[in-house]
Amino acid sequence: MKEKIFANAALVRSVAAEQLGVVVGYDARGVQWLDRYIDGQHAQATPEVKEKLVHTLGSFLGECIRQTYGGQWVVEPESPYWFIRFSDDNAAYPFSKVSKQLRHGADESVLGFFVAIGAMGLTGPKAAAQAAKPWWRPW
């Protein structure tokens, strides 16, 4: 299943580049673009299209989170969606957040969600290792 998540995330990037003329990465700028794109879909997409977008756009958001802050994709038997686990006590649910913004609009911003993860320190080993580096040693 992780392969499908990675493929969906890559699909978002390729569609953005090929059909929309926008190059997006798995980073904060990618999430800024995603936030605006979801707002547009909130206003114009049918419920059926919105449901399909949850999987692809949620995969992209999850990869932005994972590649920026660390963590791992996991799924639990009682959960319908995969999520990013930072530790036993901390996780992010990108599919749920995308679904909420598609249904409710900007009040459920994926960008605000993404920023809050970093601000609250809900990060995995990758981000913790980066933060532990002295400012004078960029390598």
Q: Which residue has the higher pLDDT, 133 or 80?
A: 80
Asked if residue 129 has pLDDT above 60, the reply is no
Q: Which residue has the higher pLDDT, 83 or 125?
A: 83
pLDDT digit string, tens, across residues 2-38 = 899 999 999 999 999 999 999 999 999 999 999 999 9
Please give the structure tokens belonging to residue 127. 């981000």
Residue-level pLDDT at 1: 79
Q: How confident is the model at residue 137 (pLDDT cuts 50, 70, 90)?
A: very low
Map the chain to HEC letters.
Answer: CHHHHHHHHHHHHHHHHHHHCCCCCCCHHHHHHHHHHHHHHHHHCCHHHHHHHHHHHHHHHHHHHHHHHCCEEECCCCCCCCEEEEECCEEECHHHHHHHHHHHHHHHCHHHHHHHHHHCCCCCHHHHHHHHCCCCCCC
Predicted model pTM: 0.85
Domain range summary for the chain, segments of one domain joined by +? 2-132
pLDDT digit string, tens, across residues 34-76 = 999 999 999 999 999 999 999 999 999 999 999 999 999 999 8
Please give the structure tokens belonging to residue 131. 């933060």
